[in-house]
Structure 1
Amino acid sequence: MVTTDSSAEPVLLTAAVEHGTFTLRRARKGDLPRILALLADDQLGATRENADDLAPYEQAFEAIDADPAHLLVVGELDGDVVATFQLSYLPGLSRKGSWRAQIEAVRVSGALRGRGVGALMIQWAVDQARENGCSLVQLTTDKSRIAAHRFYERLGFAASHEGMKLTL
């Protein structure tokens, strides 16, 4: 159920966690610096992200935000952005023409990993996919992210496919 806070910003989820109140909401353009910091806060992201030039990120944000098939979400802990992910809905012919949800760019602040915040986000995304008629939720995670693999497996995801990418 969607509730609203005092600023009329739609709140997607509110939950009490160990260190305060965790809230999910749609990302705003002003969140980009913090989102980029989260994306860059690991060995892989540190080499891929560059917040010195926000222009490409702003263009990507505008495209995501304008498309109803995509939702960029941030998680706040007592008002501070501490997590993010993107949820996208994809139509397909397989599985009798069913829709699937794609979860991407899941990041939780290092200080909060292992404290239930990521599980809250993924469960919310799975619930949204189910409510929107999806027959499948999929995600990819880099082969080097062993802890992430264990995390997703604990949440019921199975490593059922071998993913491939071609960098352009």
Structure 2
Amino acid sequence: MEDLEIRRAAADDVPAIVAMLADDPLGARRESPDDLTPYLTALERIEGDPNQHLMVAVRRGRVVGTLQLTIVPGLARRGATRAIVEAVRVHADERGGGLGTRFVEWAVDRAREEGCRLVQLTSDATRTDAHRFYERLGFTASHVGFKLQL
């Protein structure tokens, strides 16, 4: 992993990020790699919010992973700040080599640096391989999640 760089995403990284988001049955239905306009607009909003960390993993100049870490201050849990990890993706030809573990460990370390007392994430109910991956990293399936499409 010495040749791996983890850094903030830039506009030039958006095509690779969107391609990874779209590279599975769920993402293929909800992402639109042919029109990057909404993604670039979202990146501008993310860059303007200090609690948002859209990250990429780069190996030999190529984006091979992405995740978003959000820091959320709150009153619950005695005023605890929590971190939310979303949109974790590793390029198909990089899976199984430890990159996902390294990337999520980076997010947990960054959450600690930010003073977070809890790291949480969601994973679609159909992503059973991802569930096993997160459990191996110490996460527990502790809640039932709900979504309301707007």
Q: Same fold (TM over 0.5)?
A: yes
**Secondary structure of the structure 2 residue equivalent to 1:86:** strand
Name the counterpart of 2:86.
Answer: 104
Flag as ranges the 4+ runs of structure 1 deviating above 2 A.
Answer: none
> Within 5 Å, which residues of 2 pair with 1:1-168?
15-16=1-2, 21-168=3-150
Identity, in percent, stands at 55
Flag the structure with higher helix content.
2
Q: CA RMSD in A?
A: 0.8
Which structure ranks higher in relative contact order (CA pairs < 8 Å, sequence separation ≥ 6)? 2
Flag the structure with higher strand content.
1
Determine the C-alpha separation between the residues in 2 that align with 1:130 and 1:54.
33
State the TM-score, normalized to the length of structure 1. Answer: 0.87
Determine the C-alpha separation between the residues in 1 that align with 2:49 and 2:35.
23
Segments of 5+ residues of structure 1 without an aligned counterpart are 1-14
Determine the C-alpha separation between the residues in 1 that align with 2:29 and 2:111.
31
Name the counterpart of 1:7.
Answer: none
Once the two structures are TM-superposed, the CA of residue 110 in structure 1 deviates from its matched residue by: 1.1
2:99 corresponds to which letter in structure 1? V
Segments of 5+ residues of structure 2 without an aligned counterpart are none
Determine the C-alpha separation between the residues in 2 that align with 1:133 and 1:125.
13
Determine the C-alpha separation between the residues in 2 that align with 1:123 and 1:113.
16
